[in-house]
Amino acid sequence: MYHKLIRHGWLPILLLVLGSTLFLGYQLKDFLIDSGTSVLLDDGDPDLAYYNQSRVDWGYDEYTIICLHRENWFTQEGIALLNEFTTALKAAPNVESITAINTVPLLRNRPAKKIPLLGAVPDVATLDGDSDVDLEKAKKELTEHTQTLGNIISADGKDISILLYLPIPEGLKDIEPEWNELHSRKGDPEAEKRITELWPEYDRILRVWRSQRESQVAGIRKLCQEWQPRFEEPIRLSGLPVINVGMVEHVENDMQTFGIAAIGMFTLAFFLVFRAWRWTILPILTCLIPVIIVMGMMTLLDIRMTVISSNMPVLLFILLLPYTVYFIDRYRESRSRNPEEDSATSSTNAARAIWMPCFFSAATSMAGVASLMTSGIVPVHSFGLMMTIGIAVGFATVFLFLPSAVRPLPGKSAATPPGIESLRFLAGVSLRAPGLVVFLSLLLYAVSIYGTTKLNPETKFIDYFKESSDIYSGLDYIDNRMGGLTPMEVILRSDEDDFFRTPDGIAAISAVQHYFSTVPQAGSIRSLRTLIDEIQKFPADNGITEGWDDQTTLTKLTLIGKAQIREFCNEEFNITRVLVRFRETDPELNRKIIIDGWNEYAKKNALLTSLLGQSN
């Protein structure tokens, strides 16, 4: 039956395979690459669902960070340069707002002023709006500021960061709470049905956001390139928009580079070994067809390529190449032994000779990659699914398309393939010294087992990038010159409104800060407590004798600084958060040890135990 299929049905097979390839290849015009740290997480993880739901309360982390260095910013020339630069940044595409040292309200630069009912309050000034600011006082205030130090300015005042906030697309805040809540109900049919209903609108919003992100990053890159000559060090970019766009660019570049390199290398290798264009073009085409088909299916099914699945095209291509080599070798062997045999017979005999070992090889490969489908991480699951389908499609292509493509070609006798003597030598070594082969194999196995004991699950995001890359440069700058790179939030909840205005509530926040201040790898720590501490510097610096205790400070701050409070507390003062950043480049950083230590510490503090909702 197989012989008849190849002999008489070769043309329909070729038309079907090539037609399917052209159709699915055309779909690649809509092929999408997804990026960001979120694609590496389990959608069904309750911790992830909790974090995503909390973004509605605390805002999104979508801002670009521009890192600048100058030996002395606090001069007329330095501030003028900064003001001019931030003015240009405000005109960049999709920049909703800017935070920098020139936009921070200075509370201790001018004498206090009196306001009825409030008494003495700061006469607020900013570096971008007031010409009478005392620059020395401004430097002292900002480099000692609990909220700006390590966040937008370094301790020595030479390094600063400018935060450019990306606008949140209309509708995202309305749809995302329900979307995140549905994903926390893994296995619920009603939730899955509702997710399917919401997906078109949610996907549309995400596409708008992605477009805004790309537009902002492109505009900022161009602007920074124009301004670079006016700064003393290279301008560095970081932040989620830059990382997301950069990762997409890396994936695209890697796919193109490795794809072209693999095709070029194996084309040359096939030509040098077989010395015939038919045995160069046909095997390469046979291995490319399944790759195109699978990527086209991914596009139709709206499965995005990620940094994980970007290896799929080259990996699938390479896995299928040996099958074509086996076929060519058996075909040439058949032709050399039976020169009068027709091409159809040689093709089917070659395919039948390698069928069983290739089947077991493909089956075991499919079983291995199919195991990845048990993962809750979507890109890992998708990678396993598409590789499993790809190997199956590739196996069918090798045994249908390749013999059909060879069928109409004129048969040629073939000499012994070059390199066969080398293979015979290796086979002879194995047969003459089987004990040595077994010993070396066991030794390699033992070394591999020992190596697995050295694997460390502690991963560092910065290590995903080369030190020469722009992304690494920006992340390293923030980690070593600012307050650390890796963020963590500790969220406290109370059933009692206004609890975090009381001494017990503020004491609970202080207790959280106390633990993380003992962690050597911790950098910037910010909270409602640090905000109160900063405001309480005002009366001392202005000679105000009446005491500003925590409650008095909060009362005044509630009236004149609601936005500052809102970063750490909700309006009812029954939910608050402490923001901690860790230095990721510290070789001693171990998040598990830090979190385990935190859990033990919290258990011993009765006040914290009653307030902890969940840490992220």
Give me the helices (H) in 170-239, please.
172-183, 189-227
Distance of alpha carbon 537 from alpha carbon 545, whole angstroms: 12
DSSP count for the chain of H helices, then E strands:
22, 10
pLDDT digits (tens, 9 = 90+) for 323-359: 998 898 888 888 878 877 777 888 888 888 889 999 9
Tell me if 492 sits within 8 A of 508, measured CB to CB: yes
In terms of average pLDDT, the best of 198-212, 387-401, 421-435, 463-477 is 387-401
| CA neighbor of 64 nearest in space, from 317, 322, 243 | 243
What's the whole-number mean pLDDT along residues 273-301?
88
pTM for the full predicted model: 0.78
In terms of average pLDDT, the best of 32-41, 124-133, 352-361, 582-591 is 352-361
What's the whole-number mean pLDDT along residues 26-34?
82
Letter for the amino acid at 558? T
Q: Is the pLDDT of residue 614 over 50?
A: no
Distance of alpha carbon 384 from alpha carbon 397, whole angstroms: 20
Letter for the amino acid at 85? F
Per-residue model confidence (pLDDT) at position 395: 93
- Average model confidence (pLDDT) across the chain: 84
- Name the residue with higher pLDDT: 115 or 133: 133
Model confidence at 419, pLDDT cuts 50, 70, 90, reads very low
Q: Helix, strand or coil for residue 582?
A: strand
Max Cα–Cα distance, the chain, nearest Å: 111
Q: Which two tokens stand for residue 275?
A: 């010395």
